Structure 1
């Protein structure tokens, strides 16, 4: 028996969300050469059950937080670090939430921490500058253990500290989820206006069309974009649970230690 339009729409959303999670998972598990670099354009892709991707967890944590903030009635703004640096924070309401994407150039760290390329001398100097006891007799693994314990301090982001000083909470979007950002919907509308009306392909005309497109983004359109994003958030919360139930029976254990004797004999 044929399904209803609603059922077809739900099945389509489930397929999209599952494939999107699978794509992100495979992208993070790309084979690398012995030097740690991507294996090039002919690289293969693989799923590694021993290295689960945290994209689903990140998305779930974001959805839980954004829904909590909405229930609390807090004002929610969508911006990036560029506008924060331009002094927009004092103009935002206290105890509000600022949603940003997770691009590194929008989340500068207050301090650049050690990397795997640092030698023992550099690690020791970095640790001693922070009054952490260490010396050359320690193994590199021990030094890295000390670095990891102090990591949360130097991983603080400048925009987070600046926002906290104004009683504003920063919330970052999960990777590969532009559909949760209403700004992306606005940009799509503006670019669509330019593409539809661009007849001369001259830069001056394109610039004029761009400004026209921005003028079309009325408060009503922005409100519509927010409502659409809230709807997507609700769908994702439901679909994540469905996908969890659907995929669980297909989990394959690849641990050889758990194979029975009869399986080994076969």
Structure 2
């Protein structure tokens, strides 16, 4: 690769092996304590494993490091990772789709040797021109996502505002007390739904927020095939 390259990495497990991964819930207590010590995270010696693991869970994301990142950094390269479940942002996925389509259309014998030859044949046929088209397609998809980002923000704000508008000060106080008593695993989605708030998500037609006069919530939305 050229010096100072940026390597885009997908979420395949073999690309994301961690170096010094955080202990799991089944790890030994001593290993949990050692990991916390290495990261400079304070804990009490009399803590039980579940308590130690809660500390680990709160901190493990910020201390997550991947083996491939170090290898590339040693050669002055940087790493960017694709968001999970977004093969549409990876031109390699599109290239493989084109290859598989080609093989499927040409393979009549279902012989493995024929499949291998057809794969090689399509790879040679693709060339720089077709690859450039796939990269351009990904850029167009990225632009669509960027154009639609504000819709998520506005709809989220509309949801929060609607809930607040329908609650008086006493109800807000009661809600906060109830929320504090809930366990961390209790979902707020179990509360009584707010018809006005949920309509922002269920109405299939373009709508305009009362808080954003003249602003079309569906502006920028272009559903991809």
State how 1:111-130 maps to structure 2 within 5 Å. 111-127=20-36
Query: Match of 1:235?
Result: 144
Q: Is it true that 1:203 corresponds to 2:112 in the alignment?
A: yes
Q: Tell me how far apart the structure 2 counterparts of residues 144 and 209 of structure 1 sit (CA, whole Å).
A: 51
State how 1:116-195 maps to structure 2 within 5 Å. 116-127=25-36, 136-140=45-49, 143-144=52-53, 147=56, 151=60, 155-195=64-104
Q: Tell me how far apart the structure 1 counterparts of residues 31 and 56 of structure 2 sit (CA, whole Å).
A: 12
Q: How much has 1:116 moved relative to structure 2?
A: 1.8
Residues 1:200 and 1:129: Cα distance change in structure 2 (over 3 Å): same
Q: Tell me how far apart the structure 2 counterparts of residues 98 and 128 of structure 1 sit (CA, whole Å).
A: 32
Query: Match of 1:223?
Result: 132
Task: Render the CA deviation track for 1:62-84: whole Å, top value 9, x for unaligned.
Answer: xxxxxxxxxxxxxxxxxxxxxxx
Q: How much has 1:207 moved relative to structure 2?
A: 1.5
Q: How much has 1:250 moved relative to structure 2?
A: 3.9
Task: Render the CA deviation track for 1:2-25: whole Å, top value 9, x for unaligned.
Answer: xxxxxxxxxxxxxxxxxxxxxxxx
SS of the aligned residue for 2:80 comes to strand
Q: How much has 1:141 moved relative to structure 2?
A: 6.3
Q: Tell me how far apart the structure 1 counterparts of residues 42 and 156 of structure 2 sit (CA, whole Å).
A: 48
Contact 1:98 1:168 in 2 (8 A): yes
Residues 1:206 and 1:252: Cα distance change in structure 2 (over 3 Å): farther
Aligned length: 171
Contact 1:121 1:136 in 2 (8 A): no
Q: TM-score, structure 2 length as denominator?
A: 0.62
Q: TM-score, structure 1 length as denominator?
A: 0.54
Q: Tell me how far apart the structure 1 counterparts of residues 156 and 60 of structure 2 sit (CA, whole Å).
A: 35
Contact 2:25 2:50 in 1 (8 A): no
| Unaligned ranges ≥5, structure 1 | 1-91
Question: What root-mean-square deviation, in Å, do the aligned CA atoms of Structure 1 and Structure 2 show?
Answer: 3.4
Q: How much has 1:111 moved relative to structure 2?
A: 1.6
Contact 1:110 1:154 in 2 (8 A): no
Q: How much has 1:172 moved relative to structure 2?
A: 0.3
Q: How much has 1:176 moved relative to structure 2?
A: 1.1
Q: Tell me how far apart the structure 1 counterparts of residues 150 and 37 of structure 2 sit (CA, whole Å).
A: 48
Q: How much has 1:146 moved relative to structure 2?
A: 6.0
| Unaligned ranges ≥5, structure 2 | 175-225
State how 1:9-48 maps to structure 2 within 5 Å. none
Task: Render the CA deviation track for 1:112-166: whole Å, top value 9, x for unaligned.
Answer: 3211223434423555678978664245466447646874686211110111111
Residues 1:153 and 1:201: Cα distance change in structure 2 (over 3 Å): same
Contact 2:19 2:66 in 1 (8 A): yes
Query: Match of 1:101?
Result: 10
Q: Tell me how far apart the structure 2 counterparts of residues 253 and 118 of structure 1 sit (CA, whole Å).
A: 45
